[in-house]
Amino acid sequence: MTAPVAQGPAGTTPPATPTAPPATPTAPPATPTAPPAPAAGAPAEPIDTRFAGAVAAFRTVGRRPMEAPVRDGTTLTGARCLELFDAQLASRHLDLAARELRARGAGYYTIGSSGHEGNAAVAAALRPTDPALLHYRSGGFYVARAAQQGSTDAVRDVLLGICAAADEPIAGGRHKVFGRRELAVIPQTSTIASHLPRAVGLAFAIERAARLGVPSGWESDAVVVASFGDASANHSTALGAAHTAEWIRYQRLPLPLLLVCEDNGLGISVPTPPGWVRADWSDRPGLRYFSADGCDLADVWDAATEAVAYVREHRAPAFLHLSVVRYLGHAGADAEVAYRAPSDVAEELERDPLVATAQLLVEAGLLDAGEVIARYEAMRARVRETAGEVSDAPQLGSVAEVVAPLAPRDPGRVAALAATQPDPETRRRMHEGRLPEEQGDLTLAQAVNAALADGLAGYPNMVVFGEDVGVKGGVYGLTRGLARHAGAARVFDSVLDEQSILGLALGAGLAGLLPVPEIQYLAYVHNAEDQLRGEAATEQFFSQGQFRNPMVVRIASYGYQRGFGGHFHNDNSVAALRDIPGLVIASPARPDDAAAMLRTCLAAAAADGAVCAFLEPIALYHTRDLHGDGDRGWLAPYAPPAEWAAAHVPIGSARTYGGGRDLTIVTFANGVPMSLRAARRLAATGAGVRVVDLRWLAPLPVDDVLREASATGRVLVVDETRRTGGVSEGVITALVDAGFDGAVRRVASEDSFIPLGEAAQLVLVSEDQVVAAATALLTNGASASARLGSPTGESE
């Protein structure tokens, strides 16, 4: 088939500036010049020392015009071949320079792309505006993409990354990644295959955004490409992403995704069984399989152009399998001699993709051997010169510099956005004419449902999805009616796979959507936590805010369910979430707070690109009473839009109940009504107790807690999470760090999974435990009035 010409941002053909072929073929030099010696401490590499000798053996077979195919049976032209050869050369010499920089103590990253340089042809088969999620051996692709775009110096970019320079254009010295906004290359971490769910999500979201009329920031017929290795292809994340792609396509939904597996046959030292990748991936429903010899540039070009054309035309996923080799080991410290036979290494040296491309060019009469070698050495000189220029570039010099892009906050903008009123008619239609503020007092579940409906009314780009959230309306009814009101394109069921649910959200955030995925239970989020830790939370950090993946992940959480549960439906472990840098964790207890905090999270995601986990206490979803049957003490009215500004709950702000002067109880979620009941019992004994609802578990409301702690001088932390790694550890540490010198105790759930039935109450914090601990603290702890005078604690 005819190869599509790579297009630039405005649909123009990238300029080609290859060297013209010699008028008459020149005989190769009889004794090739030896390459310059590497830097002191860097070993001479066989792929470098043998290049000139290998090329010297080639002879011109026939002279072909630049615009003609470089050999019979391919659509790769001579001009394009020369362009891509330069990209291959740059990638190779960047790997060699990384070793030299490391030997001098000036470089910090030596995982290279040597042997994989054929991926440059994949870049050329795509447009420079097609979003690319590249793994760490896609150096040739990155250099070729930069050449397509025309104004980016890929050599300098990569070397700045190797040297951890603060002015490296994507990560700013925080990690060595391939990425740049201008090149549509989205930076990825080194976690194998963890970017593939995001790639599926982005491909899905580009099409969904177009369907909703939401600008995605990508071309309407874009193709998403994601590269990974053969060892990564075995990872559950890769298999889950592929399955989700097939699941989407099976329903005849568009998914323009190209998965590129660069198969070098090794996962560090573990060999991939010959033929395994083909056997595992070549016959998957809905995933078209293409393959090529990744060391043969023309073969890669032909397969890649065919695969890209298929994906672009049919809006369907494809898998491109490239058979490549790996040179220089896994990384600089990897001694291959410990696990590879010398004969295997020697055999792979014969497949060097740079030598193979040189042979194409020489045999086509486009360059002679001497010119190939001169080109090789000129690229070495250019890379070394640039390396010398950047090796002493300033690195990040302070904590503030390092964390600046981690989780930027604009509280004023978030507050304004959270208070923005939706169009009244759209809102009324979303609620089917039954506005929540007109329905009397609501439960927490009803308040969340109403706030979601208001979010869908106010944010045309908001989408809600997860297991059972569509027609059923959620296991607990929190999304009931939303699909009917907002439409199935905005509220829909997902595949039953938490990695893929979060991956869809990651991609949606990159395509202009405001995703609100639901994870059905807190225990289930641990199946997919790396999608939050390694992907969502790092995107702004490793791109300096050039790319964002805003989302609000709703998670049914905690214990205390009656008549249903066991561990997987009553999980109380949040430690794995709380130590994710930049992640916002909301944990409302009351209906009015739940609605206001959900509006805050949506606004923070939209304004700041925040990644928010919204932990909803299952046991309080339908709770109506606080102290006794029928008292309706745990219901609350829903604020109308005109009152949203006054009801706004900023991130990291607590709520205080009461103004007691004897004891401060700090708690959250199910602990709030429990502590309020305990406070009433203690009041009957004459004790004055105030209860502080943290509301936010990250960032913790430290100033509010310290103020309320200082008002009494005694603090009891009631923590329904586990004693080890629980929230109370963070609260007490914050008090100590702030210099609080009053009396502090805690009650926490046991370090146990939550069992079924009444046995659950044996390991969870109880009201009686709270009263007992408070009584002991009141008996033994010094009062605030005795030590601190009479401070006044603010409350609401």
Kindly list the catalytic residues.
569
SS3 for 192? coil
Helix axes 369-390, 353-363, angle to 10 degrees: 140
SS3 for 556? strand
Strands 491-493 and 551-557: unpaired
- Are 162 and 104 in contact by the 8 Å Cβ rule? The answer is no
Q: Which residue type is seen at 293?
A: D
Separation of alpha carbons 84 and 120, rounded Å = 6
Work out the burial of residue 125: count CB atoms within 10 Å of its CB; fewer than 13 is exposed, 13-18 middle, 19 or more buried: buried
Separation of alpha carbons 557 and 574, rounded Å = 9
- Are 178 and 228 in contact by the 8 Å Cβ rule? The answer is no
- Report angle CA 287, 288, 293 to the nearest 5 degrees: 125
Per the listing, tokens 């490391």 go with: 102
DSSP output for 325-363: ---S-SSTT--GGGTS-HHHHHHHHTT-HHHHHHHHHHH
**Kind and range of the H or E run holding 593:** helix 591-608
Q: Which residue type is seen at 65?
A: P
Residues linked to residue 690 through DSSP beta bridges, in sequence order: 664
- Report angle CA 246, 297, 265 to the nearest 5 degrees: 60
Separation of alpha carbons 405 and 258, rounded Å = 30
Separation of alpha carbons 750 and 732, rounded Å = 18
- End-to-end distance of the chain based on CA atoms, in angstroms? 71
Tokens of 286: 């809905």
**Cα dihedral sign for 200, 201, 207, 208?**
positive
Separation of alpha carbons 508 and 506, rounded Å = 6
Separation of alpha carbons 140 and 115, rounded Å = 10
Residue 563: HSE in the Cβ half-sphere, 13 Å Cα cutoff: 0
SS3 for 464? strand
**Cα dihedral sign for 292, 298, 302, 308?**
positive
Greatest distance between any 2 Cα atoms in the chain: 105
- Are 370 and 28 in contact by the 8 Å Cβ rule? The answer is yes
Tell which residue, 466, 467, 465, 444, has the closest CA to residue 456.
465
Residue 763 to residues 204, 620, 670, 694: CA-CA distances in angstroms? 43, 19, 14, 22
Separation of alpha carbons 280 and 447, rounded Å = 47
Strands 224-229 and 257-263: parallel
How far is residue 22 CA from its own chain's centroid? 49
Strands 743-749 and 714-722: parallel
Tokens of 135: 């793994």
Peptide bond into 273 cis (omega under 30): no
- Report angle CA 524, 194, 332 to the nearest 5 degrees: 135
Number of residues that make up the chain: 796
Q: Which residue type is seen at 117?
A: E
Per the listing, tokens 């490296």 go with: 168
